[in-house]
Amino acid sequence: MMYGEMTMSSRIVLRDHPSDFNSMPNQSKGVNFDAFLDCILEGDCRDVLRKLPDDCIDLIVTSPPYADRRNHTYGGIKPDRYVDWFIPIANELKRVLKPSGSFILNIKEIAVNGERHTYVIELILAMRNEGWKWTEEYIWHKKNCYPGKWPNRFRDAWERCLHFTRQKQFAMYQEAVRVPMGDWRHARLRNLSETDKRRDTSRVMSGFGKKIENWVGREWAYPTNVLHMATECSNKGHSATFPVSLPSWFIRLFTEPGGIVLDPFMGSGTTAIACQQTCRHFVGIEMNGEYCEAARKKLRGSEGPTLFDYLQENESDGNGSTGRIDSTVPRPLLPETYRGVGQVEPEESATSQESISVSR
C-alpha cells in the first residue's frame, strides 16, 4: 500500500523532510510524490514548487505576504511589483493543481497615500489572463479585529478569500459545511400561507424564486459566502494571524478525507494542523527556517483522529458548525483503502434552483 492511501486506522502524522529533496529534479515524472506528503519543506516556493509533479494537488489554501507587509519576515513586496512577483508562483500552482481542484487565496489590499491600492484587482485580472477562472469570492469577517482610529476609514474587519479554479467544473462538497437551521423555523414554518406553498418568483425579475414549503422538516441550510471567524489562532510567534478554522472550512468544502492540500506559504503550520484534524494529507512550503521548526514542533505535539473516528464524528453528530454531516445524507461506501478523489456535480441554472433567504 502506498503511503498516501488511508485505512480506517490511519491518521495524519508529520513526516521528515526528504533527505534527497535538494537533489530531486524539477517536474520529474519519476519522482515519488508520496515522499512530499505530510512534510514541511523548507525553501522558497518559487523553487520548491518546480519539484512537484503535474496535477497532484486537490486544494491549495494560502495567505501570501501582503504588499509592503512582513518586511522583517519575508522582505516585503512593493504594491506596484506584486503582480509580477506572484504570477510566476500562480503559474506553478496551476500546474500542480488537479483539473478538479481549487485554489483559495487569502489576501487584502493595503492603503497607499490615503487610498486603497489596486494590486489585488490587478492580480485577479492577471490570473484570469493566465487561464485561471475566478470562480467565487468569500469574505472572512474577523469578529475580533484590532481596534483603531483613522481619519478616513474604519477598522479593517474583513479580508478576501479568492476562489480560483482551472475549469468550470470542480470538486465541491457543500454538505460538509452546512449549518443548523435554527429554532426560528418552528414558528415560521408552522402555518404556511398559500404563497409559501408555491414557488414565488422574485419581483425584481432576477430569475430567482423561493418555495417556503420546501423547508418544512429540514434541519440544515447551506451557508453564505461570508465566514464569521475570530483571529485567534495557533501562529504563536508568527507575524501574521491565520485561524485554523479558516483553512479547515475550505478543506472540508473542497476535499474529502485522504485528499491532498498544499500551502506554499505555510508559516507556522496552521494549514497543516487543519489537515491533521480533518484527515487530509498536506504539503507545506516555508522559506523561514524558524517557522518550519515551529510548525514541526506543533505537529509532533498533536495527534489527529483516525479516519474511522473522523468519519464517525462527521456522520453521526450532525453539528454543521464543525463540519459534521447529517447521517441521513447518502455517502459513498468506503473501500478498504481510501484516498480522496474529487467528484463533480452537474451545474444548475439560477432559474432552476429552489432558493430562499432565511433569517430570524
- Domains of the chain, by residue range, sit at 33-322
Q: What is the pLDDT of residue 74?
A: 55
8 A C-beta contact, residue 92 and residue 64: no
What is the C-alpha to C-alpha distance for residues 95 and 54, in angstroms, rounded to an integer?
6
Question: Per CATH, which fold does 33-322 belong to?
Answer: Rossmann fold (3.40.50)
Q: Is the pTM of this model over 0.95?
A: no
- Are 144 and 108 contacting, i.e. CB atoms less than 8 angstroms apart? no
The answer to whether the CB of 146 falls within 8 A of the CB of 186 is no
CA dist., res. 267 & res. 269, Å (int): 6
Phi and psi of 180, rounded to 5°?
Answer: -60, 145
Dist. CA 18–CA 151, nearest whole Å: 51
pLDDT value of position 341? 34
Helices 270-278, 245-254: axis angle to 10 degrees equals 50
Return the pLDDT at 311: 86
Q: What is the pLDDT of residue 224?
A: 93
Phi-psi region of 98 (alpha: psi -120 to 50; beta: other; left: phi over 0): beta
Q: How is 146-163 classified by DSSP, letter by letter?
A: PP---SS-----EEEEEE
8 Å CB contact between 93 and 58: no
User: Which pLDDT does position 106 carry in this prediction?
Assistant: 96
Instruction: Per-residue pLDDT tens, the chain, 360 aa: give them.
Output: 566 678 888 889 888 877 666 767 776 555 678 888 999 999 999 999 999 999 999 999 999 987 765 555 555 789 999 999 999 999 999 999 999 999 999 999 888 888 999 999 999 999 999 999 999 999 999 988 877 777 888 888 899 999 999 999 999 999 999 988 877 777 878 788 887 777 777 667 676 777 777 778 788 889 999 999 988 644 455 455 679 999 999 999 999 999 999 999 999 899 999 999 999 999 999 999 999 999 999 998 877 888 888 888 876 444 433 333 333 333 333 333 333 333 333 333 333 333 333 322
